[in-house]
Structure 1
C-alpha cells in the first residue's frame, strides 16, 4: 500500500505515567486498521518519559475517518490524561525502511 499521509509526534508522559502511556500506544486501536500502514512507537534513550510515534496512512481522508471514530476519540482522551500538554507534531510521510523488533 502506498502511504500518502503521515506525521511524527513527540510527547512527554506525566511523572510516573511513561510505562502506562507506552503500553497504551502499543495497544492503539489504529494498529489493526488496514489504512494505517505504519505505526511505530519509540522511547527516548536519554529521557524515558519522552515518547515518539510515527504514523503512515494511505490517505489523509482515511486518517481523518479513523480519528473521527468513537474508538479513536476515546483512545485519544485516555492517552491525553497520561501526557503533559506539550506534545509536538510534524508532517512526515514514511517512505521505507526496515522494521527489526
Structure 2
C-alpha cells in the first residue's frame, strides 16, 4: 500500500485521563478502513497525559472520507471530553519502519 497522506498528532488529556484517551485510540483501528496503513499510538515518557498518534493514509481524500463516517464522528465525540485543549498536528507521511509490540 502506498501512503500519500499522513500526520503526527499530539494530544494532551485532562489530568489523569491519559489511560482513557489511549484506550479509546487503540480501539480506533478496529473501525474498518483499508486506506489506513499506519495508526500508531504512543505516550510521552515524562507525562502520561500526553499522547501521540501517527497516521498514514492512501490519500487525504480517503482520510477525510473515513472521518466523515458516523463511527469516526462517534469516536471523536468520545475523545473530545478527555482533552485539555486543541491537538497539535505535524505534517508527516510515514515511509517505512518497524513495529513490534
Give the shorter-chain TM-score range. over 0.9
- The runs of at least 4 consecutive aligned structure 1 residues that moved more than 3 Å come to 29-32
Contact 1:29 1:75 in 2 (8 A): no
The equivalent of 1:45 in structure 2 is: 45
Q: Cα RMSD (Å) of the superposition? A: 1.2
**Alpha-carbon deviations, 1:28-79, whole Å to 9, x = none?**
1565421100000000001111000000000111001000111111101110
SS of the counterpart of 2:62? helix
Matched, 1:19 2:19: yes
The equivalent of 1:4 in structure 2 is: 4
Where in structure 1 are there 5+ consecutive unaligned residues?
none
Kindly tell me: are residues 77 and 66 of structure 1, through their superposed partners in 2, closer, same or farther at Cα, counting changes over 3 Å? same
Alignment of 1:16-95 (within 5 A): 16-29=16-29, 32-95=32-95
The range that moved more, 63-72 or 77-86, is 77-86
Q: Matched residue pairs, number?
A: 101
Contact 1:39 1:54 in 2 (8 A): yes
Question: Structure 2 length as normaliser, TM-score?
Answer: 0.94
Task: Measure how far apart 1:85 and its partner are.
Answer: 1.0
